[in-house]
Copies of this chain bind each other. A is one copy, B any other.
């Protein structure tokens, strides 16, 4: 009997990054910033996106919390940039996750029966 695991750290990290990416507004922002090399203002984004200003602020906060973007304050402006270091880390985690090629493995089955399904 295989015993219950805690979730492995990298599994949790992948889930957390995925969560940060799990809203169209945040995908859009990351796309834009990762392509930009320079930075951009939240005002640039509100005008493009179909969401309100305070909602955008929340999304930016989440991306910042997840470490995927950074804000450089120059009141009343704030320039947002991708956090290259963590963005690279995200890339690595995801490519490891997505590109693992299949290997042949057996599943275990637990029933003590004589008529187990075939094709395991």
Contacts of A109 in B (CB 8 A): 41, 43-44, 77
Kindly report which residue of chain B lies nearest to residue A110, judged by CB atoms.
Answer: B43
A103 contact from B4, B30, B36, B105, Cβ within 8 A:
B36
Give 1 or 0 for each of A24-55: 1 = CB within 8 Å of chain B CB. 11111011001111111101100111100000
State which residues 1-39 of A face B: CB under 8 Å.
1-8, 11-12, 14-16, 18-19, 21-28, 30-31, 34-39
Number of copies: 2
A36 to B94, CA, bound (A): 18
A104 contact from B27, B37, B102, B107, Cβ within 8 A:
B37
Q: Does A58 contact B (CB under 8 A)?
A: no
Q: What bracket does the count of chain A residues touching chain B fall in?
A: 35 or more
Kindly report which residue of chain B lies nearest to residue A107, judged by CB atoms.
Answer: B40
Q: Does A91 contact B (CB under 8 A)?
A: yes
Cβ A24 vs Cβ B35 within 8 A? no
Chain A residues packing against B (C-beta within 8 Å): 1-8, 11-12, 14-16, 18-19, 21-28, 30-31, 34-41, 43-44, 47-50, 74, 77, 79, 82, 87, 90-91, 94-95, 97-110, 117, 120
